[in-house]
Amino acid sequence: MPDPATPPTSPIPPTPPIALAALLARADLGLRQIAGPPDASIRWVHTSEMADPYPYLLGGELLMTAGVQLADPEWYVSRVAAAGAAALGFGVAPVYDEVPAALVEACARHGLPLLEVPPQTTFSGVARAVWLLMARAREDELRRVSEAQRALATAASRRDPVGAVLRVLAGRLGGWAGLLTPDGVVLDSAGREPAHSVEVGVGRLVRVVAPSADALTATDTVGDTHLAAYALAGPRVLAVATPHRAPGDHTIAGVAAVLLTLLTAERQGAGEAARSAALVRLLLGGAPEEAEPLLGEGPWVVVHARGQGAPPDLGTPLVDAGGPSVRALVPADREVTPHPGWALGASAPAGLDGLAVADTQAARALERAEATRATLTRHRPAGFDALMNPEEAAAYAHELLAPLTDPLRTTLRTWLSLHGSWDRSAVALGMHRNTVRQRIGRAAALLGVDLDDMDVRTELWLALRQS
């Protein structure tokens, strides 16, 4: 059994978290917080009636339960809190007429937000509200990044491009932005001057990404101020200090780092100048076909790489080293080969209008390379099965379906394959339709899911195919 002192780690989902207050503000749900701090953030929703849900929690979720197996509230809450859950939602009815006082007291002691879910509000309705709020937050983030990207690209075309880019960056992030030498000398800056302790922190961070160091980006926190540094060509370093860190900040700063690299690099040859012009043209909203003559003949392969030491030589000057992984644009006719100490993921060949998809392919290929300890993994043909790592999918399916016996799994698989038809399932299984209903109801109760939810059905079907 997992140790409650070490909560399970999990990848951060692609959608930003939502504030608990935003969910409570949904009057149609009628949720009421009755214990715990009010400033929690929710990353996903999970329903479980397990006596011990710890092994099935990823951390950051709103755990929904009706207390079917709530024997010891203190122990239950300690397990949920140790797993890193963001909040607990307790459904009033059909098991309890009100939230147990012992559960309220336990949540208050462990600092776990506790929500009372009224009888008329379904758990799937709460989950749907969370996904809608997350989708809206993601749209807001993408809009913010897009607007900042256009503003930065416009600033790069002004008379004082470096200062203009820094001013736009500082304004968009609500903090300070500076261009520094590797030894910490500020060459140009914009925004409110940071406190002395923040300046010292920036100096330390700059040395981490200096040309002699291995890191290309680094982050730190000084008090309530968040710091980030990005290695540029030149050599130069972009540093930012902000009072908070919002979704999209890293992407916005990464765009600024690319522009500042182009603006501060030493005099370029004709080929490099043409490529820089192509990149700026794309940033300014130009169509891919306008940039293609400057960038060179396609198609291209996107490569993502992660490792230690100096970035690998991929035989192309079109390299972005300002993120968590090195990204490169390589002509499709140039072979991508493994590099010692680095894991590489390569996309399928693509034209300029398909580079966004190719970038996603390369990122997934890199994930597979790291998971399998391979030095180079290439994009596999499309299809949902190809998007999943077989070993990881099988492990997740085993965990998800663990509460079900073999007869229940067989019944559930048949029922799902026949689109929930009771009569057709009964014929296929050679049993009475009421037996099918009882088994499906038992499976839903053991899994703690709503089988009327298409998302739930899809996830279970994929899991059953792996089991």
Arithmetic mean of pLDDT over the chain: 83
**Predicted pLDDT of residue 99:** 95
Please tell me whether residues 441 and 350 are part of one structural domain: no
Confidence of residue 271 (pLDDT cuts 50, 70, 90): low
Q: Is the pLDDT of residue 9 over 50?
A: no
What pLDDT shows up at residue 124?
Answer: 93
Residue 323 has pLDDT above 70, yes or no: no
For 374-411, how does the pLDDT look when each residue is reduced to its tens digit (9 = 90+)?
Answer: 888 888 765 555 556 667 777 777 888 888 888 888 89
DSSP state of 1: -
pLDDT at 268: 47
* Phi (first) and psi of residue 41, to 5 degrees: -120, 140
Least confident of 117-121, 262-266, 305-309: 262-266
Enumerate long-range contacts of 127-130, CB under 8 Å, 24 or more apart.
Answer: 127/45, 127/47, 127/64, 127/453, 129/23, 129/26, 129/29, 130/18, 130/23, 130/42, 130/44, 130/45, 130/62
Q: Residues near 464 by Cβ (< 8 Å), separated by ≥ 6?
A: 397, 401, 409, 412, 413, 416
User: What's residue 286's pLDDT?
Assistant: 57
Q: Which residue among 366, 387, 408 closes a domain?
A: 387
104 in helix, strand or coil? helix
Same domain, 115 and 63: yes
Q: What is the pTM of this model?
A: 0.48
Q: With cut-offs at 50, 70 and 90, classify the pLDDT of residue 262.
A: confident
| 45 and 58, same domain (yes or no) | yes
Q: Is 187 exposed, middle or buried (0-12, 13-18, 19+ CB in 10 A)?
A: middle
22 plus 88 within the same structural domain: yes
Together in a domain, 233 and 306: no
In this structure, is residue 286 part of a structural domain? no
What is the pLDDT, as a whole number, of residue 2? 41
Is 78 found in the same domain as 42? yes
Which domain-ending residue is among 387, 404, 434? 387
Q: Which residue has the higher pLDDT, 436 or 269?
A: 436
Of 132, 167, 182, the domain-final residue: 132
Highest mean pLDDT among 34-43, 261-270, 325-334, 382-391: 34-43
* pLDDT band of 127, cuts 50, 70, 90: very high
Q: How confident is the model at residue 312 (pLDDT cuts 50, 70, 90)?
A: confident
CA distance 329 to 446: 49
Higher pLDDT, 45 or 324: 45
Task: Give the CATH number for residue 427.
Answer: 1.10.10.2840
Inside any domain, residue 144: no
145 within a domain of the structure (yes/no):
no
Residues whose CB is less than 8 angstroms from the CB of residue 335 and which lie 6 or more positions away in sequence, other chains included = none
pLDDT band at 298 (very low <50, low <70, confident <90, very high): low
Same domain, 319 and 417: no
Q: Which residues of 332-349 are buried (b: 16+ CB within 10 A; e: fewer)?
A: beeebeebeebbbbbbbb
Three-state DSSP class for residue 69: coil
Mean pLDDT of 166-180: 92
CATH number at residue 47: 3.40.1390.20
417 pLDDT more than 60:
yes
Domain span at residue 90 reads 18-132
Q: Is residue 424 part of a domain?
A: yes
Q: Are 371 and 397 part of one and the same domain?
A: no
- Looking at the structure, do residues 161 and 105 belong to the same domain, yes or no? no
Let me know: does 57 contact 8? Beta carbons within 8 Å: yes
Question: Shortest CA distance to 221 belongs to which of 255, 175, 188?
Answer: 175
192 and 247 co-located in one domain: yes
Q: Which of 45-59, 178-192, 338-352, 376-390 has the lowest mean pLDDT?
A: 376-390
- Residue 278, pLDDT > 60, answer no
Statement to judge: residues 24 and 90 lie in one domain:
yes
Tally of domains in the chain: 4
Residue 211 lies in a domain: yes
Strand, helix or coil for residue 390: helix
Is 46 part of any domain?
yes
Distance separating the N- and C-terminal Cα atoms of the chain: 22
Max distance between CA atoms of the chain, in angstroms, equals: 80
Check residue 12 and give its pLDDT.
45
Task: Flag the least confident range among 96-105, 174-183, 226-235.
Answer: 226-235
Is residue 46 located within the same domain as residue 127?
yes
Determine the pLDDT at residue 123.
Answer: 94
Asked if the model's pLDDT at residue 149 lies above 70, the reply is: yes
Strands 61-65 and 44-47: parallel
- Amino acid at residue number 23: L
Average pLDDT value for residue range 248-277? 72
Q: Is residue 323 in a domain?
A: yes
Q: Which of 160-174, 191-205, 312-326, 413-427 has the lowest mean pLDDT?
A: 312-326
Percent of the chain residues topping a pLDDT of 70 = 85
Asked if residue 415 belongs to a domain, the reply is yes
For residues 409-425, average pLDDT: 87
pLDDT at 16: 75
